Homo-oligomer: A and B are copies of this chain.
Amino acid sequence: MAQKVTIRDLAEAAGVSVTTVSQILNGKGDRFSNDTRDRVLKLQEKLGYVPDYNARNLIMGSTQTIGVLVPNLANPFFSMFIKGIQQVAQSHHFVPIIFDANQNQKLQSMYLEELIKRAANGLIIASATLDANDIDRILTRNGIPYLLFDQNDAQIGDRVWVDDYKGGQMAANYLLSQGHRRISLLVGQDITHNIQQRISGFRAGMAKYHLTLADEMVVQTSMTKLGGYQATATVLAKKPTAVFCINDEMAIGLYRGVQEQGIKIPDDLSIMGYDDIDLADFVTPKLTTIHQPAFEMGQVATELLIERLNNPRLTHQDKQLPLELITRDSVKLIQSGIH
């Protein structure tokens, strides 16, 4: 490879000073003659000069980088979330660095450090296992603005959220309106704040019907397809008429387990999910679920963060996005004596 061309090379070639080149290339060249300006620009093209990223950032103090931490890239919800991030980051000339922390505590800390090292301007963190206060401590110490996602309890950092409590209620209402009374709840291992909200909302929804969700009706497993599948027997043992899965992935896993037993959805068992990943529309039967606007959430999260980057002394930002019940084919209307 040819030796890298520096600003000094370019200056020399153009017969001007380094200052002149720098100014012109940074759009501050009004005070130079057209002649000089053209010459520099032409020569830049010709020599293929690209300002050294590190040198530039060193002095500018910004990397135009946003760090992103998600628990699982393979979950379509997060794929969409990331796509949203990428889109608006790009339009603001930021670059997202994405880490899949794999729900692994240690890895997350590592990545967090890596992002700090790399002087990310801001962070978007969707972490189940990192403690919000830990994050806050380490990040504010380093003066890095961030936005917490999927973990909205702590009143720190900015926030983009959906009303999970209401989402839980919506799910309950719908299931109950379809006549279901014996409902099982399928949840993950570590209950983040937002999930907790969903559950509470669901409970509240049942309470309105003067029903309570017995503890024995909630079963825990990992929040993946496999987790849902593995929980099949346990769920079935509860003899529910419907099960509300705390995310679509698990619902899809449960689909398989249930269908393997020859049980028909929704005739023998109704299943409801949460997230509305693209897949929900492609399984058989199509999954009834609560739609979370993952892509928009990514967009808004990034917008808020960049907003704060531009204006550090903004007060706490908070944006809520709407949830929506998507009724498809996985929940059956059953007879019910009540109501």
Q: Which residues of A contact B (CB under 8 A)?
A: 1-2, 4, 48, 50-55, 57-58, 63, 73-74, 76, 79-80, 82-83, 86, 90, 95, 97-100, 102, 107, 110, 114, 116-119, 140-143, 225, 229, 252-253, 255-256, 259, 278-279, 281-284, 286
Main secondary structure of the interface of A (DSSP, over half): helix
Q: List 9 A-B contacts (CB under 8 A).
A: A1-B140, A54-B55, A83-B100, A83-B102, A97-B97, A229-B282, A256-B282, A259-B284, A282-B283
CB contacts (< 8 Å) of A63 on chain B: these are: 53-54
Q: How far is the CA of A102 from the CA of B79 in the complex (A)?
A: 12
Is the CB–CB distance between A2 and B54 below 8 Å? no
Q: How far is the CA of A55 from the CA of B283 in the complex (A)?
A: 51
CB contacts (< 8 Å) of A278 on chain B: these are: 74, 225
Considering the complex, give the chain B residue whose CB is closest to the CB of A99. B86
Other-chain residue from B54, B82, B225, B284 in contact with A73 (beta carbon distance below 8 A): B82
Other-chain residue from B52, B80, B284 in contact with A283 (beta carbon distance below 8 A): B284
CB contacts (< 8 Å) of A110 on chain B: these are: 90
Q: How far is the CA of A119 from the CA of B58 in the complex (A)?
A: 14
CB contacts (< 8 Å) of A48 on chain B: these are: 141-142
Known interface pairs A118-B95, A259-B284; A100-B86 also in contact (CB < 8 Å): yes
Is the CB–CB distance between B283 and A2 below 8 Å? no
The winner among A48, A54, A119, A225 for most chain B CB atoms within 10 A is A54
Q: How far is the CA of A90 from the CA of B50 in the complex (A)?
A: 28
CB contacts (< 8 Å) of A97 on chain B: these are: 95, 97-98
Is the CB–CB distance between A53 and B284 below 8 Å? no
Is the CB–CB distance between A58 and B50 below 8 Å? no
Q: How far is the CA of A114 from the CA of B95 in the complex (A)?
A: 9
CB of A196, distance to nearest CB on chain B (Å)? 27
Is the CB–CB distance between B100 and A82 below 8 Å? yes
